[in-house]
Amino acid sequence: MASAGPICGPISTYSRVQLLHLVQTRAQRTIGELCEATGLHANTVREHLQRLIEGGYVIAATEHRTTRGRPRTLYSAATGMADASSPIARDKVSAAARRGDLLRRVMPGATSDLGRDATYQLDALIEHLEESGFEPVVDDVQLTVDLSPCPHAAGRAEDRPMLCRVHLGLMQGVLTEAGGPISADAVRTSALPADCTVQLRLTEMSAA
């Protein structure tokens, strides 16, 4: 079995995974809320959030106040929706599509039968996963992404459900930002920690 690659990119630490989990489960979190939930110092939380913003995974907005007082900064997950879209994530999607088009010009066999929009979604998804330390193998017929061996396999078993939910949420955000018929449906369960396969799904309209 091939060895797992290094866990890299803006989500390379467990603390950042915790913060992502919190902003994915509820938007517009304050620094105080995130500190209380994680036990981290405010400066540490701010540093992690800045890295996540720079990666295109979190967006920050200034609180709208109707009373006196300094407005707070609110943090939410970048989901790719109109009201939660990151300009950095948009730039990443565009760059991935350009690189994908270049690859398909020199390797015609790399062209997918799923259509232009879905192909660009997969371009963006693959680059996101590679940035995160995975070695994705996409099956565009079965609509699966094999991420084995999972670089998180050596971590604590009790942490895996949250890790899987966070990564699935990030994948869905990338696919939504790219725009198209594919969504991230689920992480398939396996008895082996190193085995990881993500099931994708086409919308009913596109599948028809």
pLDDT tens, per residue, the chain with 208 residues: 333 444 556 677 889 999 999 999 999 999 999 999 999 999 999 999 999 999 999 999 998 877 777 889 999 999 999 999 999 999 999 999 999 999 888 887 666 778 899 999 999 999 999 998 899 999 988 999 999 998 887 778 888 889 899 999 999 999 999 999 999 999 987 888 889 999 999 985 444 3
14-207 CATH fold: Arc Repressor Mutant, subunit A (1.10.10)
Q: Where are the domains of the chain?
A: 14-207
Instruction: Write the DSSP assignment of the chain as a string of letters.
Output: -PPPPP--STT-SHHHHHHHHHHHHSSSB-HHHHHHHH---HHHHHHHHHHHHHTTSEEEEE---SSSSPPPEEEEE--SSGGG--HHHHHHHHHHHHHHHHHHHH-GGG--SS-HHHHHHHHHHHHHHHHTT---EEETTTTEEE-PSPTTTTS-GGGHHHHHHHHHHHHHHHHHHH-SSEEEEEEPP-SSTT--EEEEEE-HHHH-
pLDDT of amino acid 9: 66
Whole-prediction pTM: 0.88
pLDDT of amino acid 155: 77
pLDDT of amino acid 158: 86
pLDDT of amino acid 205: 46
pLDDT of amino acid 4: 41
